[in-house]
Structure 1
Amino acid sequence: MKRRIAEKVLALSLAAAMMAGMAGCGNNDGGSAPGSEGGSSAGTEQSGEEQSSDAGQESGSEEGSAEGEGGNEGGEEAPEEASMPDVITDSDGNPIDLGGMEIIVRDWWTPDEETEPANSFEEAKEEYLDWAQSTYNFTIKQVAVSTWDSAPEDFVNYATTGGDENYVFVLRQGQELVAAMNSGLMYDLGSLDCLDFTEDKWKDGVNKMLSKGDAVYGMRGITPEGRGGMYFNKRLLEEAGIKPDSIYDLQENMEWTWDKFEEICSQVQADTDNDGVIDRYAMVCITQDFYPMAVWSNGGEFIGMDENGKYVNRLESSETIEALNWSLDMIDRFNKVFDSEAAWDYGYTAFANGEGVFIPQETYKAGDWEDMADDFGFVCFPMGPKMQDYTNCYTDNVMVIPACYDAEKAWKIAFAYNLFTDPVPGWEDYNESWKSDYYEKFRDTESVDLTMARMVENGMVTYHTFIPGLDLGADVYWNINKDNTPAQQAETIRNTWAAYLEEANK
């Protein structure tokens, strides 16, 4: 399998080479920098991001990798003689001058060290950033300043007291982020005319999630991360008489549905030695991983946002209730029953040991199964009856500017970050730089080229992590069963959630 992946990378490089040969902290009133004509130079850097339950991570052209996956840029050859973008000028016709600002995009994973470009894309990116920094008189880099644990508190402390530094903070999604936003600690990015949030590089919806009316408090100008999908054990499928590649065929033919998944689960689950005990389970999932993916796959969600920008309870929607009922049935029929004393990661270990065919999990887990004896594949979570396409839920980290900066400083920092995330000249249509590191973690190229490529382009956002007090485990997952249906639990928790939403909507 590793050879296939190496051949894939080589093929990409050769194809690109052939193409090249044919190519010829203060007021929050915002606004433009003094003398500026405004305007945007937005684009997108190609990258991936992954975030586990205990450590948010990102990767990409300007973003390194934490402990899970990364986003080393692809190895394609650059087009010849790519020209730099038009220079953005002030009212006197001179290039915008950022006055030699040193800007830090501060995260918790990027090492503070210089690295040589690994391929043509990285060389072109370095050339572009050198041009941008020289043209507009600034420097910018992304580097770990905080830790994963300290990042929220570090931001609150800095945004409260201020400082001379020029920071873009990276923060993980969740209730701490919302508390900081509601406390007025984040600059209103919607007031800065150097940012145009209609452009494609903001498509993961971070700016939408961090919006109140016309105000925007968070951004992320890089490719969103493919998130949760369904891993499958190829050996166990073959033993059950199913060709592993047929799962990819189902996905590509838009036939990878709940019904088809259920059919395959019925076929693969078996007592192979006829001792009366099932020894090949269809699923070895952790239930709290299955529930939300099923909900999203059916067009449901737990907390949504209405047309007025207000959080709303969608637990009782038909899409969500249908998904939770189906999940209960699938788990009851096909999931391995684990001992109550099992470790928290029992499902991951069982899948690695070949005890079950399927496990729903996020993309970063592929790197944790490097030593797994069996080959595995990865497809989207099967499509629910209310949907016409597969989807996954983006939960990307968020970039914010402290509200303690005055309007001029905030504008300049945002202008620089916009340049930092612009497309590399000549590579505007290159959308595969995030793939390289994933090829090293998955066992086949289809997981990346067919599944993750689809997930990166087709995702959704949701809002339950933004509601203080709300806990899906305690409020929903751990209470639903045959005797207490999802609809009954939704009614039980309705008033509690109404109080949470009332407070959040203030």
Structure 2
Amino acid sequence: MKKRSRVLSVLLTATMVVGVAGCGSSDAASDNAGSSAQETVGESTEAADEAETEEVGQYTVLTDESGNPYDLGGMEIIIADWFSSGEEEEASSAYDEAHQEYLDWIQETYNFTIKQQAVTSWGDSPEDYVNYATTGGDENYVFTLYQGSALTSAIQSGLMYDLSTLDCLDFSESKWDSVVKDTMSKGDSVYAMRAMDHEPTAGIYFNKRLLEEAGIDPESIYELQRNNEWTWDKFEELCKQVQKDTDNDGVIDLYAMTNFSCTLYPAAVYSNGGQFIGKDENGFYNDLESDATMEALNWALDMIDKYEMVYPEDAAWDYTYTAFANGEAVFTCAESYKAGDWADMEDDFGFVCFPMGPRMDHYVNYAQDNVFVIPSCYDAEKAWKIAFAFNLYNEPVPGFEDHEGWKDNYYKSFRDTESVDETLAIMVDSGVPMYDKLVNGIDMGPDLFWGISKDNTPAQKAESIRNTWQSYIDTANGK
């Protein structure tokens, strides 16, 4: 672990005043919590000059009942995922430097190390977690998992530590994602956490060249979004304007849309205030046949019928993305991460939220973020120490509390700043839960999206799966 010697030497020699046990060990801290005043390191350090005192004064030491900093005993904590290198990246900004300074400090002060590291693959991660949580191990893991039936099964099987029992975690703090807390809670128990911004999901990408050739200023779409006027009706107006039969032979030469139905349908539903599965004080319930959901599915189906590109017979399953990249359609509904796949796209593109349905007055996007869990095989002391470290690891960096670090990688993927500063900024704050992912047995593609058509309407399809879904829901609700 790289150290900043000047800062750390001051920290280690500073007089540390007894601090609040904002996190207390399973036994001692709960007795001591709230009994002492929290003070800042360096406030009573006469040996440090004024600049050094100001620098280290940003940090706060949490102490045990004896007035000493909590000691995690040199434990190595791994935030286990399927995508991290485990290596410290070179700092490229003032924030990066401050962040690493802070991480160095907490690890030195509380005697532990922590890093993110790939220990599995995306496909193997659910099974690997279950195996580990069942058999245990000497490692100190916080596991990264994606939402789905495997995650739900692990909770139902008692393989997730109940985080609500760990007094070093306060889920009322603003850093914790409220959607994850909602979806990953059962009664008073909390089984997963996320202290990262919601990852923006589905919106509308548009080809700027094709819009300009149709006489539409691409900036006007951003203007509609800014004015809260980006609606289903406005979107269809643009689709009518851009779709063309250029040689008047009765065959469309330029289509308005190319979409992946498993993205378009849920984006439309949530944009209208609908949902597939709801959740209330009694548990999960089927909301597929609600007016908002049915209206959205019928609208999306009608848009596909009118404006969707017809693919070549031998097209690959993901040709929709290729078609957009090739400029064969003006619009596509896709998730924000797809921008990174279009680095070589010749035409410039923009990105706006999915347009609002008639039942909504604001933009929304569905949330399906990765979550972080602690295996239930750990004893209380070990789980507490891991949670204590993870909580500190996710604290805002002192002096950069308002830093929007999530934007950095998106700037590298998108072609304009509006996509990030305007669209993604809205989406980060407007995620809504997808409860269908928490009900084992429900599989939205084969259950619904792949089967609806003009000849098999959403209402007909919903009726045909009603009883099957109810059986899944009853099981999820413990009936």
Identify whether the pair has TM-score above 0.5, normalized to the shorter chain.
yes
Superposed CA RMSD in Å reads: 1.6
1:82 CA displacement: 6.7
Q: Distance in 2 between matches of 1:315 and 1:249?
A: 33
The C-alpha deviation readout for 1:416-438, integer Å capped at 9, x for no partner, is 000000000001122x2121221
Aligned to 1:73: none
Q: Determine whether 1:374 maps to 2:347.
A: yes
RCO greater where, 1 or 2, for CA within 8 Å and sep 6 or more? 1
**Residue in structure 1 matching 2:454, options 458, 472, 482:** 482
Q: Determine whether 1:408 maps to 2:397.
A: no
Aligned to 1:33: 26
The C-alpha deviation readout for 1:158-197, integer Å capped at 9, x for no partner, is 1111111111011111111111111101100011111111
The C-alpha deviation readout for 1:332-365, integer Å capped at 9, x for no partner, is 0111122454210111111111111100000111
Amino acid at match of 1:485: T
Amino acid at match of 2:123: D
Conservation of the 8 A alpha-carbon contact between 1:175 and 1:465: yes
Amino acid at match of 1:168: V
1:440 CA displacement: 1.4
| Residue 117 to residue 136, structure 1, CA distance change in 2 (3 Å) | same
Aligned to 1:9: none
Q: Determine whether 1:386 maps to 2:379.
A: no
Aligned to 1:169: 143
Q: Determine whether 1:203 maps to 2:177.
A: yes
Conservation of the 8 A alpha-carbon contact between 2:164 and 2:188: yes
Q: Determine whether 1:358 maps to 2:331.
A: yes
Aligned to 2:475: 503
**Residue in structure 2 matching 1:240, options 210, 214, 218:** 214
**Residue in structure 2 matching 1:281, options 238, 255, 260:** 255
Indicate the structure (1 or 2) with the bigger Cα radius of gyration: 2
Aligned to 1:69: none
Conservation of the 8 A alpha-carbon contact between 2:86 and 2:115: no
Aligned to 2:161: 187
The C-alpha deviation readout for 1:122-179, integer Å capped at 9, x for no partner, is 1101111111112222111111111112211211111111111111011111111111
Conservation of the 8 A alpha-carbon contact between 1:297 and 1:387: yes
Amino acid at match of 1:465: K
**Residue in structure 1 matching 2:411, options 422, 427, 439:** 439
Q: Secondary structure at the match of 1:170?
A: strand
Q: Distance in 1 between matches of 2:263 and 2:137?
A: 41
| Residue 152 to residue 38, structure 1, CA distance change in 2 (3 Å) | farther
Q: Distance in 2 between matches of 1:257 and 1:312?
A: 28
Conservation of the 8 A alpha-carbon contact between 1:107 and 1:170: yes
> TM-score, normalization: structure 1?
0.83
Aligned to 1:10: none
**Residue in structure 2 matching 1:155, options 129, 149, 166:** 129
1:321 CA displacement: 0.4
The C-alpha deviation readout for 1:268-287, integer Å capped at 9, x for no partner, is 11112323211111101122
Q: Distance in 1 between matches of 2:91 and 2:114?
A: 17
Aligned to 2:72: 98
> TM-score, normalization: structure 2?
0.88
Conservation of the 8 A alpha-carbon contact between 1:234 and 1:374: yes
% of aligned pairs identical?
A: 63
Q: Distance in 1 between matches of 2:113 and 2:366?
A: 34
The C-alpha deviation readout for 1:53-99, integer Å capped at 9, x for no partner, is xxxxxxxxxxxxxxxxxxxxxxxxxxx84733332222222222222
Q: Structure 1: give runs of 5+ residues left out of the alignment.
A: 1-29, 40-79
Aligned to 1:316: 289
Amino acid at match of 1:426: G
1:488 CA displacement: 2.0
Amino acid at match of 1:320: T
Aligned pairs for 1:227-306 (under 5 A) are 227-306=201-280
1:212 CA displacement: 0.9
Q: Secondary structure at the match of 2:332?
A: strand
1:399 CA displacement: 0.7
Q: Which moved more, 1:253-262 or 1:281-290?
A: 281-290
1:31 CA displacement: 8.2
Conservation of the 8 A alpha-carbon contact between 2:177 and 2:193: no
Alignment coverage as a number of residue pairs: 435
Amino acid at match of 2:160: M
1:460 CA displacement: 0.8
Q: Secondary structure at the match of 1:190?
A: helix
Q: Distance in 2 between matches of 1:249 and 1:236?
A: 18
Q: Structure 2: give runs of 5+ residues left out of the alignment.
A: 1-22, 35-53
Conservation of the 8 A alpha-carbon contact between 2:204 and 2:334: yes
1:482 CA displacement: 2.1
Q: Secondary structure at the match of 2:83?
A: coil
1:468 CA displacement: 1.5
Aligned to 1:5: none
Aligned to 1:417: 390
Q: Which moved more, 1:339-348 or 1:377-386?
A: 339-348
| Residue 289 to residue 405, structure 1, CA distance change in 2 (3 Å) | same
Moved over 6 A (4+): none
Conservation of the 8 A alpha-carbon contact between 2:26 and 2:166: no
Q: Which moved more, 1:227-236 or 1:205-214?
A: 205-214
The C-alpha deviation readout for 1:460-490, integer Å capped at 9, x for no partner, is 1111122221111222122222232212221
The C-alpha deviation readout for 1:9-34, integer Å capped at 9, x for no partner, is xxxxxxxxxxxxxxxxxxxxx98433
Q: Distance in 1 between matches of 2:24 and 2:69?
A: 18
Q: Secondary structure at the match of 2:351?
A: strand
**Residue in structure 2 matching 1:461, options 433, 448, 451:** 433
